[in-house]
Structure 1
Amino acid sequence: MIDDGDGVWWQPSNAELQERVSFRLDRQEKTLGSAEPKTLRFVLTEDALTGAVGSPAVMREQRLHILKLLENNDNLTVQVLRSETYGNPARGGGMTILGFGDKGSPIGFSSVVFGPSTYFDQDADTADQMRAFRRLQELALNQDDSVRLIRQIDEEG
């Protein structure tokens, strides 16, 4: 995805590409390798697993990476929302909700392809996002079925 945005959302630059990739890898390592384990829950759409991003080899690598992360991280949950599922309250958009336990109020983040992404820190806004996320969890496959689907998609190539 970063490669696809080069020269579109920012001026073409190999250094920019490398910086964006390094930032994301560092963030992933800090999140997953933290001394204080975090509970991580994700709902991915089936389209995110089958989309034409990079190349078929890149997509396969991404699916295998998700499976490996699940094998190595008990604090990680990944659920897949099937394409044919009705009632998706977040269709066409993504969201991130960061909870801090008793150390602070949750913060929500809604990303967009073009224009400003939005952070939410008001209780009413983050409560709406939490309801939407819980609904997505209800609609999505459970983790075992999600893993089976990811493997099936990978086998079908």
Structure 2
Amino acid sequence: MITDIESATPALCRLQLGSELRQLRQAAGLNGRQVVRKLLWSSSKLTRLETGDNASVEPSDVIALCQIYGATAEQRAVLEGYAAVTKTRRDWWQSAEYRPVIRPGFKAYLGLEATASAFQTYASEFVPGLLQTEAYVRAIYANGHQALSAEEVDSLVTVRMTRQEALLRTESPLKLTAIINEAVLRRAVGGPKVIRGQLGHIVDVVTARPNVRVQVVPFKLGLHPAMSGPFVVLRFSDRAVPRHIVYLENLAGAWVYRKEGDVERYVEAFADLQALAPGPHESLNLIKKAVKEH
């Protein structure tokens, strides 16, 4: 339960609302099919509510579910409060400025990232977004497969830079653990000057922020558990349901995985990779060496 709804973000309220509604449904001994049949809803509507994927939640929908689930007056008041926040406030990425350049799948991911307590990522080709410099981001979009206007590039750069503020929060900053392939250090994205600045930035952030940890997977390690490609594991607080979510992205789109079996495979792969890769100190030396080589 959120202790201070007044200061909570819409993304956090959506996630918490979905979690508590799911728990109430399960406590009432109902499955999703029974609920949507009673309310004449589509099954996707209930799924979106329980996973926090809606941009906003109608209080009337919450009231209807609370009646079916037999929620107490106190539970109903709290859940209606969550819904009210989603109706009266907007997350920064939902503004008109960013809406045209953020794909639906990525928009859903941003809501999860904003509420996560820890972020674990394996990066095979690019520096993880939360550690990228503005020059590096611009170089990526300038050479992308999709023709973008200068205004669209500016908006995408702002989105990337704004996301990084999660690492700097004074209260409960996001805990970032990044494992990057050695190819990321070698690939001169944007040219020597840009990549030197980018790698130097990683060194600075890791040195200054105890909530950021970076490891490098050197080529000499050979085969490793993440050879299939990059991924992100988002971890949530002990009270959140589910505890972990996986995000995958490629040229065709972006996907969020919540199924326990699918998620567990990525959680295990990241843990194995963390154990195989050189530790943070040795990895930092590899990054510093790459800076000099560029």
TM-score, length-scaled by structure 2: 0.50
Q: Where in structure 2 are the equivalents of 1:138-157 lying within 5 Å?
A: 138-157=275-294
Distance 1:43 1:75 in 2: 14
Write out per-residue CA displacement over residues 13-35 of structure 1, whole angstroms, 9 at most, x where no aligned residue: 00111111110000001x11222
Distance 1:131 1:69 in 2: 26
- Deviation for aligned residue 1:92: 4.9
CA contact (8 A) 2:199 2:291 kept: yes
Corresponding residue for residue 143 of structure 2: 4
* Among 214, 234, 243, the residue aligned to 1:78: 214
Does 1 or 2 have the higher relative contact order (CA < 8 Å, sep 6+)? 1
- Deviation for aligned residue 1:84: 2.5
- Deviation for aligned residue 1:48: 0.6
Corresponding residue for residue 50 of structure 1: 186
Distance 1:92 1:121 in 2: 19
Q: Where in structure 2 are the equivalents of 1:21-60 lying within 5 Å?
A: 21-29=157-165, 31-34=166-169, 35-60=171-196
Distance 1:37 1:103 in 2: 18
- Deviation for aligned residue 1:12: 2.9
Distance 1:57 1:47 in 2: 17
Q: Where in structure 2 are the equivalents of 1:65-104 lying within 5 Å?
A: 65-104=201-240
1:17 counterpart SS class: helix
Which has the higher mean CA deviation after the structures are superposed, 12-21 or 86-95?
A: 86-95
Larger Rg: 2
1:18 counterpart SS class: helix
Corresponding residue for residue 62 of structure 1: 198
Corresponding residue for residue 247 of structure 2: 109
Q: Give the gaps of 5 or more residues in structure 2.
A: 1-139
1:103 counterpart SS class: coil
- Deviation for aligned residue 1:144: 0.3
Distance 1:63 1:23 in 2: 21
Q: Give the gaps of 5 or more residues in structure 1.
A: none
- Deviation for aligned residue 1:59: 0.5
CA contact (8 A) 1:110 1:117 kept: yes
- Deviation for aligned residue 1:141: 1.1
1:102 counterpart SS class: coil
Q: Where in structure 2 are the equivalents of 1:128-139 lying within 5 Å?
A: 128-139=265-276
1:109 counterpart SS class: strand
1:111 counterpart SS class: strand
Write out per-residue CA displacement over residues 30-71 of structure 1, whole angstroms, 9 at most, x where no aligned residue: x11222123211101111111031111110011011001011
Name whichever structure is richer in helix by fraction: 2
Alignment coverage as a number of residue pairs: 152
Give 1:52's aligned amino acid: A
